[in-house]
Amino acid sequence: MRILFVINSPEAKFPRDLALETNRRKDIDLRLFNLLDTGKKSKDFLFRLRFILSLPSLLFHLRREIRTFQPDVVHSNFWLSDVVVRLATYGMGGLRLISTQHDEAELPFFIRLVKRWALKRFDKVCAISKSVASFLTDYLAVPEEKVVLVYNGIEIDDFAGAQKSRGAWGPVLGTFARLERIKGVDLLILALAGLENPPETYIVGDGAEKRELILKSKKIERLAKQIHFVGHQKDIVAYLKKVDVVVVPSRSEGLGNIILEAMAAKKLVLAAKTGGISELVEDGKTGLLFERNDISSVEKTIEWVVSNKDKSLEIAEAGGAWLDKNRELFDLDKTIEKYLKIYAE
């Protein structure tokens, strides 16, 4: 079976990793097509203008790739890929199109209409959580019969080495995300600023807001030495080893792979009540939830963790146990098997 996997950029970590792992399967020939070299400047006006001007060339190259490779399935990820694939496959019969919806981010009115138009051509639209599935039917008007639930998966056992002993508890915080507004890292910094003794915190990731976030943290004296911006890191496990608590302050989140990775490493998860996060985190039992887009709620949750070591460790252990119990849903091999079944159908 030949599969053409289309993603926005190499920085789309989960879709890229899914494609590479799927390609290792017997009888699968998969090619990866990146629309962009990078997503770092995606909010820059000149970057967008250059993309629009280069769109005819991009469509030409994608159509040529499809004609040369002759895939059985074209699998796109994210709204830009969906639209480009729809345009590039215009007039091509016999192709099966599949999309994966990774988030619940609301789109500008015109883009929403274009996305709806694009998805009408797709045979199946995969949702990475039940919440995203509802978003597809309610917000993007995708017929229910086209929507398939496929949770993201991880290599669960790869994160066991990031566990720390109880005696090593700091707590040290970490957040692992693209530094874009939707990920809410600014909320975490402002919440830390409200604490008298903010815990040491690692911010792992890169993005358009990195410079602004660094400047914001440096303006607050008690944060200057406590927050470490370490940029994009390929070895997530190495930084999970450093932290006790993983904070996910997203304003919108389809599921949150980092939550699964944190649970696999038995880290305490603090996350916003948004999207599919509540399908992973049960407040007070497998992690702690705070109100979405609410600095005060983030601050109070961190304060509680700092003052309640034993209970925090207990919840972290429970999160790891919950993930182990639900391996069938969140193991990467199982996720790949589900996609292969969809391709075959």
Say whether both 214 and 108 belong to one domain: no
Q: What is the pLDDT of residue 265?
A: 97
Say whether both 136 and 203 belong to one domain: no
Within-domain flag for 99: yes
* Dist CA 27 CA 315 (whole Å): 42
Closest CA to 316 of 129, 170, 103: 170
CATH number of the domain within which 252 lies: 3.40.50.2000
Say whether both 143 and 191 belong to one domain: no
Q: What is the pLDDT of residue 93?
A: 82
CB-count burial class (<10 Å; 0-12, 13-18, 19+) for 300: middle
Within-domain flag for 335: no
Question: Which of these three, 92, 122, 150, is where a domain ends?
Answer: 150
Say whether both 228 and 113 belong to one domain: no
Within-domain flag for 336: no
SS (H, E, C) 111-136: HHHHHHHHHCCCCEEEECCHHHHHHH
Within-domain flag for 56: yes
Within-domain flag for 342: no
Say whether both 258 and 294 belong to one domain: yes
Q: What is the pLDDT of residue 14?
A: 87
Within-domain flag for 109: yes
How many domains does the chain fold into?
A: 2
Count CA within 13 A, CB hemisphere, residue 302: 33
Query: Domain residues for 182?
Result: 156-328
Say whether both 86 and 166 belong to one domain: no
Closest CA to 15 of 140, 137, 122, 100: 100
Say whether both 126 and 216 belong to one domain: no
pTM: predicted TM-score of the whole model, two decimal places: 0.91
Say whether both 181 and 227 belong to one domain: yes
Q: What is the pLDDT of residue 165?
A: 81
Backbone angles phi, psi at 107, to 5 degrees: -110, 155
Say whether both 143 and 206 belong to one domain: no
Say whether both 244 and 302 belong to one domain: yes
Say whether both 190 and 304 belong to one domain: yes
Say whether both 164 and 127 belong to one domain: no
**Are 70 and 96 a contacting pair, CB within 8 Å?**
no
Q: What is the pLDDT of residue 204?
A: 97
Question: Which of these three, 129, 150, 171, is where a domain ends?
Answer: 150
Split the chain (345 residues) into runs of 10 and give each run's mean pLDDT.
90 86 93 77 66 89 96 93 95 92 92 95 97 97 97 94 86 95 96 95 94 92 92 92 97 95 97 97 98 97 97 97 96 95 94
Q: ω before 171 within 30° of 0 (cis)?
A: yes
Within-domain flag for 80: yes
Within-domain flag for 292: yes
Question: Which of these three, 94, 121, 150, is where a domain ends?
Answer: 150
* Dist CA 83 CA 74 (whole Å): 13
**Are 315 and 284 a contacting pair, CB within 8 Å?**
yes
**Are 251 and 292 a contacting pair, CB within 8 Å?**
yes
Separate counts of helices (H) and strands (E) for the chain: 13, 12
